[in-house]
Structure 1
Amino acid sequence: MSLKQASALIVVILLIDQVSKFYIKTHFMLGDEIRVFDWFRILFVENKGMAWGAQIPGEYGKLLLTTFRLIAVPFIGYWLWDSVRKNGSRTLITAIALIFAGAVGNIIDSVFYGVIFEHSYNQVADFMPEAGGYAPMLYGHVVDMLYFPLWSGYLPEWLPIWGGEYFTFFEPVFNIADSAITVGFFLLIIFNKKVFPQDKKEQEQSKETVN
C-alpha cells in the first residue's frame, strides 16, 4: 500500500468519524438514544478520559491525557511513513493507518470540541456559540454513540464476585475512531507473523533454539 492510499484511508475514516460526531453533538442531548435494533442503539455519551471511561485524576488529568495523545500521534505517523518507505505489508500499513486515523479523530474532540460546542446537558449543543464553548482548548470531551448491548441478564449465582449481578455485554459506548483503533490493533495481533516477519537469521536462530 502506498502512502497516498494510506492517507486516503485516513481521510475517509476521519470524515466519517467527525461527521457522525458533529451530527450527534448538534442533534442529541446527553443520554438521548435511538434503538435501531435490540442489539444496536445510537446512544449519546461523552467520554472525559480514556477507553472504558478511565480518567487521570486531578485538576490537570485531562490536560495530561490530551498532551500525551498529541505527542503519540507524530510517532504513529512516523511509523506509518517508515513502514511505507520500507515496503511493509499491506496489512501492516492498513493497521497503522487505522490506528493513526482513530487517534487523530479523538484528539480533535479533546482539543477543539470544548471550544466550538456548548455543553449537551439537557440541551442540544449549538456549534460556535456566542457565549463560548463548555471547556477550554485541550479539555474537550470525546463524543461516543455506538452501543451494542448484545446480551443482558443476571449472571449465575455460582459465579464468584459477580454472581447474581445484572450484566450487559457489550456495555461500552464507542465511536468510529475507537473502532478504527481497535481494528488496527486486532490486525497487528492476528497477523503478527505477517506484519512483523522475522529475517532469515532470526528464523535460523529460532530453529536452533528449539532444536
Structure 2
Amino acid sequence: MKVDDKTYQKFWWFKKGSKWPTGKTDVLGDNFGDCKSSDAVCFQKLPEVKEEGLLLLAIDSEGNQFEWTFDSLNPVAHAAYKALRHGTTASKVSGATWAPRVIKGSITGSAQDTFMYRDQDGIRSFMLDDDGCDCHSTLSMGHAMCGGGCSQSYGNCKITGGVDKLSDAQMTGSAGSGHHCTGPATDYGLSLYYYAP
C-alpha cells in the first residue's frame, strides 16, 4: 500500500463479514509472520520496528483512511505502540491527544486521548477513543468496552467480537433503546499497515 510515496506493510486485518475465529481470545495474539495473506482474519503484532518515526495506517471497509505517527513522549501513543509491538496490556491510559491524519473519510470531533488494551468478556481488546467508553472511537478491535466493563448503550455487549469503523461519530437509535453508538462487530472490516523509516 503506497501513501505519499511511502510503502506501507500490512500486518493486521479483519475482513468484513468474517466470523470471529474460534479459539482467538486476543486481537494481538498472533506473532508477525503467523498469517497467510489469504487468511480472512489476522491478529499479528508489529514486527521488530523502532517507535521513532514509525507510522500506523488504518483503512476500514467504509472507505476511511487514517494515519498516526507514534510518539514515545505521548503516553497514549506509547501505550498503543507497546501493545501493537509487544502485546503489553493497558487497563486505561489517558493523556495528550494522539490524533490521526485523515487521508480519506471523516473523523469524530472528540479528542483521541484515551487508550485501552485489556480483557473484556474473554477477548483481549484494543481501543483508542476520547474517554474509554466505545463511542467516538477511531481504533476499536475485539469486544465493546466501557470503563472497566461493557455498557450496552455504547456498543453491543452481546457480540462476541469484531471491529468498529474508524469514524464512530454518530449516535444510532433513540434514547433508551440502547446501541447509541456502534461498537466492534463483524459487519465492518479493518486493515492495519505500518511504515518504518
| TM-score of Structure 1 vs Structure 2, range by shorter chain | under 0.3
Tell me which protein shows more helix as a share of its residues.
1
> Normalized against structure 2, the TM-score is what?
0.25
> Normalized against structure 1, the TM-score is what?
0.24
Tell me which protein shows more strand as a share of its residues.
2
Q: Could you say which structure has the larger radius of gyration?
A: 1
